[in-house]
Amino acid sequence: MMLSVQDTQTTIFDLVQPFNTEEDTEVVDFLAANSRILACPVTSQLDFPHWDNSAMDGYAVRYTDVQHANPQQPATLEIVEEIPAGYQPQFTIQSGQAARIFTGAVMPKGADTVVMQEQTRRKDNRVLILVAPKQQEFVRHRGSYYRAGAELLPAGIMLNAPEIAVLAAAQCSRVRVYRRPRVAILSIGDELVTANSPLQPGQIVDSNQYALTALVRQSGAEALMLGIIPDRVTVLTTAIAKALSQADIIVSSGGVSVGDYDCVEQAIQSLGGKIHVRTVAIKPGKPFTVATFPQTQTSCSKLYFGLPGNPAAVLVTFWRFVQPAIAKLSGLSNGWKPKFAKALTQSQLQADGKRETYIWGKLYLEDGEYKFQPAGGIQNSGNLINLVQTNAFAVLQPGQTFISVGEQVLVLQVS
Ligand code: AMP
Ligand code: MG
């Protein structure tokens, strides 16, 4: 039975059990945690800021000394010290006194307010305050951003530059992250050879192995390149058994179209796998197998994706179904679903209206609007050149056969 794209997605997402906080984590140095997924919330050991400090270059004063200051009647204060950032103040500010202070420097005792230097005039070792500040103005108080014990980062987020900065500032040098999912990659087909083999008549390069490796790595997972498997059920069965012992997810390409349909299906069934999806109403990518292998004593249940052999169909089905599954497995609590946008098409788009059709091309921002330019020439799913620089697919729903230039189209964003 042919499933809709939506039903296929629902089936897959329901089958993915995200990583477990106990078993599927490791502790790493915080900088090495960049682009990893946080497995446990991070709590601060410190108040931040750690000291009352100045938010401006200016003068640290006692508010009561300057509250009535104005350009006609400035308040005159004696400067008792200069406090650059990084220094410990030596004096307590008494009434009639001020300290020259710089952004980020520690507030001296006695002072409660900073007057920005633009509202002062310097006269030797005295300063004239020309404008009354607000009480406590330009003071960043200890713990005003967060206090010790506060949650800084929730579990399930990816650690990028802002999060790395937060970890550094809070002196969290080691963090617990989810391990990277392991994805085994198999290419099935008697005609396939590796990229560096001379081509004999009838052979083609197994480009899918390399494309899938790049896709898997871009998804934050570890790629296990298990190579080329001939169109033989027994050999494939052995290869899948090996993949099951090493990986969380298995992705194969080829061996699922009508001619050799049985190869993947028979191998899966002989290993006790359960098939959930066989064909999907998607173009390209109709023969698309989803299976699960049951939990064993040493490992949890594993997902198998049998992609078609067609290079374009591999990209479409990976981006549409496999990448979100890897992202959900990896422990991301949000943002793992496919990303759709609306764009104005720059060329007319056509489909036969039978299946949900994915047309590759480029999504870009121009004059504040998203625009989509389909790849030129024939969108033949065997023609790889045509896929270069693809970063999005226009999606035409079943029944939708035509979208004219300048009209809005749904696009799947893939990078
Ligand atoms: P299949 O799904 O096995 O019938 O393959 C469909 C088409 O994709 C055929 O033209 C294959 O030669 C091609 N193909 C299959 N596997 C690969 C691969 N790993 N790399 C590149 N092209 C492939
Ligand atoms: Mg084949």
pLDDT per residue as tens digits for the range 232-248: 999 999 999 999 999 99
Nearest CA to ligand 1 atom 4: 257
CATH 3.40.980.10: which residues of the chain? Answer: 2-19+179-329
Distance set, CA 9 to CA 16, 160, 265 (Å): 11, 28, 20
Amino acid making up residue 163: E
- Mean pLDDT of all residues belonging to the chain: 95
Report which DSSP code applies to 38: B
Ligand 1 atom with least separation from CA of 231? 3
The pLDDT tens digits for 197-219 are: 999 999 999 999 999 999 999 99
Tokens 């990078």, residue?
415
pLDDT greater than 90 at residue 404: yes
Q: Which ligand is nearest to the CA of 308?
A: 1
CATH 3.90.105.10: which residues of the chain? Answer: 26-48+146-178
User: How many secondary structure helices (H) and strands (E) does the chain include?
Assistant: 8, 29
- Beta strand pairing status for 222-229 and 287-293? unpaired
pLDDT band, residue 296 (cuts 50/70/90)? confident
The Cα–Cα gap between 343 and 281 comes to 23
- The pLDDT value recorded for residue 175 is 98
Coil, strand or helix: which one is 387? helix
- The pLDDT value recorded for residue 114 is 98
The pLDDT tens digits for 320-341 are: 999 999 999 999 999 999 999 9
Return the number of other C-beta atoms located less than 10 Å from residue 115's C-beta.
27
Fold of 53-132: Molybdopterin biosynthesis moeA protein; domain 3 (2.170.190)
Interval between CA 77 and ligand 1 midpoint (Å)? 83
The Cα–Cα gap between 292 and 306 comes to 11
The Cα–Cα gap between 76 and 69 comes to 9
Nearest CA to ligand 1 atom 23: 309
Provide mean pLDDT across the span 79-104.
Answer: 98
Cβ 83 vs Cβ 89: under 8 Å: yes
Return the number of other C-beta atoms located less than 10 Å from residue 295's C-beta.
11
Ion ligand 2, residues whose Cβ is below 5 A away: 189, 254, 309
pLDDT greater than 70 at residue 378: no
Interval between CA 346 and ligand 2 midpoint (Å)? 35
Provide mean pLDDT across the span 184-188.
Answer: 98
Coil, strand or helix: which one is 310? coil
Q: Which ligand is nearest to the CA of 306?
A: 1
Interval between CA 4 and ligand 1 midpoint (Å)? 23
Beta bridge partners of 345: 372
Show the ligand 1 pocket: residues with CB < 6 angstroms: 187, 189, 191-192, 204, 206-209, 253-257, 308-311, 382
Query: Does the domain formed by 2-19+179-329 have CATH 1.25.40.10?
Result: no
Is the preceding omega at residue 49 within 30 degrees of 0, hence cis? Answer: yes
- The pLDDT value recorded for residue 261 is 59
pLDDT greater than 80 at residue 259: no
pLDDT band, residue 299 (cuts 50/70/90)? confident
- The pLDDT value recorded for residue 53 is 98
- The pLDDT value recorded for residue 385 is 83
- The pLDDT value recorded for residue 257 is 76
Provide mean pLDDT across the span 175-196.
Answer: 97
Fold of 339-413: Beta-clip (2.40.340)
Interval between CA 253 and ligand 1 midpoint (Å)? 7
Tell which one of 186, 190, 192, 317 to mutate to probe ligand 1, the residue whose CB is within 8 A of the most ligand atoms: 192
352 φ, ψ (degrees, to nearest 5): -80, -5
Interval between CA 302 and ligand 2 midpoint (Å)? 24
CATH 2.170.190.11: which residues of the chain? Answer: 53-132
Tell which one of 190, 194, 204 to mutate to probe ligand 1, the residue whose CB is within 8 A of the most ligand atoms: 204
Give the least confident one: 225-234, 273-282, 371-380, 390-399: 371-380
Provide mean pLDDT across the span 255-267.
Answer: 81
Residue 266: exposed, middle, or buried by beta-carbon count in 10 A (0-12, 13-18, 19+)? middle
pLDDT band, residue 297 (cuts 50/70/90)? confident
| For the chain, the helix, strand and coil percentages under 3-state DSSP, each to the nearest 5 | 20, 35, 45
Q: Which CATH class is domain 26-48+146-178?
A: alpha beta
Residue ranges of alpha helices (H) inside 187-226 are: 207-218
Residues near 78 by Cβ (< 8 Å), separated by ≥ 6? 96, 97, 98, 125, 126
Provide mean pLDDT across the span 74-90.
Answer: 98
pLDDT band, residue 377 (cuts 50/70/90)? low
Interval between CA 103 and ligand 1 midpoint (Å)? 63
81: nearest Cα among 42, 47, 113, 111: 111
CATH 2.40.340.10: which residues of the chain? Answer: 339-413
Nearest CA to ligand 1 atom 18: 206
- The pLDDT value recorded for residue 188 is 97
String of DSSP letters for 324-359: HHHHHHTT-SSS-S-EEEEEEESS-EE--SSSEEEE
Q: Percentage of the chain surpassing pLDDT 70?
A: 98
Cβ 49 vs Cβ 194: under 8 Å: no
The pLDDT tens digits for 113-165 are: 999 999 999 999 999 999 999 999 999 999 999 999 999 999 999 999 999 99
- The pLDDT value recorded for residue 300 is 77
Q: Is 218 left (phi over 0), alpha (psi -120 to 50) or beta?
A: alpha
